[in-house]
Structure 1
Amino acid sequence: MGSFDDPPPDHLAALAQHGSWAEVRPLLRPILRPTTYKQAARDDLLHRWPEAAEIDTRFLSRPAFPFVDELVAIDLPSARSVINYSTLALWSVSADEVFAAARENLEAIAQPHDPRGNAILSRTDRDGSAYLTSWPLAPGWLASFSRRYAGRRPVVFIPDIDTLIVVPDIPHLLARIYRQVEQQYVDAHHRLSPQGYTLDADDTVVPFDRAGRHQQHRTAVRAGYRLAMWEYAVQAHWLNRALERDLEFTRYNLEMAIVGEIKLAGTDTRPYTYTVWGEGVDYLLPAADYISFASTDADNNAVLICTVPLTAALEITGLTPIPAMSPIRFEARFWPDETMLTQLKQASVAL
């Protein structure tokens, strides 16, 4: 059985082998991948084979967690194929039906926690046949650990596409696992996420930093920032490569612009991210916590005007996300006028 990350087969051949909806439905499995998964490969495909633009080769996907998407694979005997929108068009079903069928099939193979087993679960699935890192998507699976953990929340980690770790939210244990997972994430050939995921009050699986107060909340925040910065760096790399090649962002029908950076700042107790919007330059800005607006003086030195929380900056300037771009970026091809600058300065914060 081939790896998910083998080079994709010819798309037309892949479409021909999938079969009818009735044949394919029992073979569907959800998979989790970083939001930038295979984006560069698709861009290269469209560059080498412009005719592919007539086939919607975008993967069928939806957000599962921040910077992590849920896709659907067909589990064939000797290979796996990730469903794209052209494949979906062959069946008289909706995307929601495909995702629902995949999760239903996953529920049948995901193994709930064995109360007689070890409290800490750590498993590796080198060939992907067990779909381990998809198990958090199975209804009730993570909650099955709750009784054994005696009031402690279960926390699941998926540092790469082959590894699954579940532990109770004991503070000193979580601190150690976050360190271990971060290193595993950094070293992985196929990274997935350095973040831990747990249950909220409604038993929905959410990132640990979004599930309420805890002694390791800041650790979880930093892990979320590491994931964001890595995914934006991956995106920026292939956007800049495409820009050097085509002198525009052909895939998004966008003219040349600076691919803005996301930067980490603050302290260990209060980290934050920011990006810079400079006067006189066109940008594709990332979704950071803050936007710093900067001009230049007579000697061409950068001069900070104000730093504004992202939500307020978007409301004042009217920037909206670039369609179909993930991670999110905003196309900034103007400099705020005096009215906007006055409002931005009023919304400015000291960091």
Structure 2
Amino acid sequence: MRRTRRLVGLALAGALVLSGCAGHARAGAGGAPAEAEKQANREAREAEARLAEHSESRGQQTPEEEQAERDAFAQRAIQALRAAGETRDIHYDAAGFLLRLGSKTGGNADDTVFLGNFFDEYLATAPEQQEEVLSRLTRVRAMPTLPKTFAEVRPNLLPVVRGRAFFEQLWLVVKGGPDTSAPVSWKPVDGFLGACLAFDGPDTLQYLGPNELARWGVSFDEAFTVALENLRQRSTEALEQLTPGTCLAPWEDSYASSRLLLDEVVRRCKVRGTPVVLVPHRDLLLITGSEDEDGLRQVATRALRAVMAPRALDGRALRLTASGWVPFMPERLSNAWADFRKLELFTRTRDYEEQTRRLEKLYAEKGEDLFVAAYTPYQDERGRSISYAVWLKGVDALLPRAEVIFFMDPALGEEAPPVGIARWEDVAKVAGDMLVPVKGLYPERYRVKGFPTEEQLAGWQNDPGDLFDEDGP
């Protein structure tokens, strides 16, 4: 899908000077409760939109125009599938931006064609080559039959690194719940990446789940050890040196990012400090040192371009320690910090946007009027950045884990400023049962129950400018 690229340029309009913040009047008390809840949710989304006025270049697509373009691509994909001989029913899920083949509600991930990456590639491809994108899409729906024995599958078994959000949100795709058995077997690499197993076929990469492993009589760890060894044998080439102490993995085989699992490959780059890697794309592994400011800036610049490309992974950095990979950010006074901060905010925003779409669809299908609040990044004229979410009084909502919370009371009218503005940590200290973590959601969300007292809000009537870190760029 075409993901929103709005990291820089989002504005809080009057909110950041505590003027002109918008709430909305509540639904009429005389309506039915269900209709009132729907109206409250609509108004909550409008309040978010008014609070975040997007200062974007002319020509930026409206949400309606973007959706129309996605829908048109889905129809072209359906036509291509039919031309390729697909005879099953094809159901288009606009909210999930996917096609289900066969049963409309079937939970088999193998019968699902995810359109997002193909759509991004289609838009990034010259018109004369776009048919090739559609041709590759049609091959996804006909996954090869997997070998019957583990001995047969061994040579084609490889590890795949993806963003943790990809794995954590699969239960939303297969119509299950957070306790549903995952259709793909995986394990965490750190706080925001995960690794799974794949069968590397001639035209397709097929993720493997617990059913396949059980049929072959092997555990995930046993199969993963085999996959790592296969990858090791494919990773004998020297790294490409960008500058002394900063390297690029030379492989463009869809497994470049997976090489971060091979310490000996990462350590081929003789870095200053400890190794730091970024895997913004499946075909891009960047390596530099924690004490190499020029190297950090160079890999961040490349990563910022790569996370905008089709099939992007994650923009956040990792540092290699004796116990494995851990999240990494440069020192706040480093010249590289601003770009790493952009990468962090962009990735979290993208993951939350995807989660929001899937959760809204889930609750709509269940008939639940639960408001899924947005995670919004903001950068001021000095280049300082924060992320924020809006907590509205009287609205049953799921709140993302943003850095700042704006408290709004719709009963005060459209032009009323926030009744409170606070950092997440300050709210969490006293919120208690008003802010309850929701099991099984990543990125994390919290069920909002109630609203802070006037006394609490009085302590959170901050000047929004004070919520930025003055030590930041």
- TM-score by structure 1 length? 0.72
Quote the RMSD (CA, aligned, Å): 4.2
Question: For this pair of structures, how many residues does the alignment match?
Answer: 324
Partner of 1:85: 210
Task: Work out whether 1:180 is the aligned partner of 2:302.
Answer: yes
Equivalents in 2 of 1:326, 1:195: separation in Å? 16
Q: Which residue identity lines up with residue 164 of structure 2 in the other structure?
A: T
Q: Which residue identity lines up with residue 261 of structure 1 in the other structure?
A: A
SS of aligned partner of 2:197: strand
Partner of 2:402: 288
Q: Which residue identity lines up with residue 122 of structure 1 in the other structure?
A: L
Write the deviation string for residues 39-67 of structure 1: whole angstroms up to 9, x where unpaired. Answer: 88875654xxx9xx9x9453223333444
Cα shift at 1:209: 0.5
Cα shift at 1:229: 0.9
Q: 1:274 to 1:344 in 2, by over 3 A?
A: same
Equivalents in 2 of 1:29, 1:322: separation in Å? 33
Equivalents in 1 of 2:450, 2:151: separation in Å? 54
Q: Which residue identity lines up with residue 418 of structure 2 in the other structure?
A: V
- The 5-angstrom pairing of residues 170-319 of structure 1 reads 170-186=292-308, 188-200=309-321, 202=322, 204-209=324-329, 214-244=334-364, 246=365, 248=367, 255-265=368-378, 270-300=384-414, 301=416, 303-310=418-425, 313=428, 316-318=431-433, 319=435
Write the deviation string for residues 66-107 of structure 1: whole angstroms up to 9, x where unpaired. Answer: 443222212345543112233344355544444444334434
Cα shift at 1:175: 2.2
For structure 1, the 5+ residue unaligned runs are 1-5, 249-254
Q: Is the 8 A contact 2:297 2:339 kept in 1?
A: yes
Q: Which residue identity lines up with residue 194 of structure 1 in the other structure?
A: G
- The 5-angstrom pairing of residues 1-351 of structure 1 reads 9-10=110-111, 17-25=146-154, 27-37=156-166, 43=172, 46=175, 56=181, 58-76=183-201, 79-90=204-215, 92-111=217-236, 113=238, 119=244, 120-123=246-249, 125-128=251-254, 131-146=255-270, 149=271, 151-168=272-289, 170-186=292-308, 188-200=309-321, 202=322, 204-209=324-329, 214-244=334-364, 246=365, 248=367, 255-265=368-378, 270-300=384-414, 301=416, 303-310=418-425, 313=428, 316-318=431-433, 319-332=435-448, 334-336=449-451, 338=453, 342=455, 350-351=466-467
Write the deviation string for residues 204-224 of structure 1: whole angstroms up to 9, x where unpaired. Answer: 333330789854234323311
Equivalents in 2 of 1:205, 1:44: separation in Å? 29
Q: 1:116 to 1:242 in 2, by over 3 A?
A: closer
SS of aligned partner of 2:268: helix
- TM-score by structure 2 length? 0.56
For structure 2, the 5+ residue unaligned runs are 1-97, 100-108, 113-141, 468-473
Equivalents in 1 of 2:307, 2:241: separation in Å? 30
Equivalents in 2 of 1:115, 1:203: separation in Å? 27
Equivalents in 2 of 1:292, 1:257: separation in Å? 19
Q: Is the 8 A contact 1:208 1:220 kept in 2?
A: no
